[in-house]
Structure 1
C-alpha cells in the first residue's frame, strides 16, 4: 500500500464517507511525520488515540487538535 492509498482525503472520496478514526499510519501521513514519531506522540499523550480490540486508532480530529495545541504553545512562548 502506498502513501497516497492511505491519504484520508482519498479514502473519503473512495467510499463517500469521511473517516471517523485513522490508523496510526494515516495520522502520521496527515501530520507529514513518520510512523515511529507518531507512535511516540501517542505514547507521550500528545496525540490522542484509542485502543479498539488490539487495534490502535486515532480520532480523525486529533491531528488537527495536536497542531492547534502546538501552535498555541508556540505563540504563548
Structure 2
C-alpha cells in the first residue's frame, strides 16, 4: 500500500473530516503508542498503519483488504468523488 492509497482508504472508511481526526489523534497501542501520523513519519509502512487503524476502530475484515485502490472507472487524480 502506498501512502496515497492509505489516505484514500482512510477517506473512504471514515470520511475526509473524521479521517483526519483518526489519523492525527487516535493513539494506537499496536504501533508503540503513536498516532497513525506519527507512525508514518517514523517510517512504519502505510499498510501496517492501516491495519492498526482498522483493528482499533473495528473496521470489518471485508473492508480492510484492497482498501485505497481505485475503483473501476475512478481516476487516480483527485478524490474520485
- Give the TM-score of the pair, scaled to structure 2: 0.38
Quick one: higher RCO (CA 8 Å, sep 6+), 1 or 2?
A: 2
Q: Which has the higher strand share?
A: 1
Higher Cα radius of gyration: 1
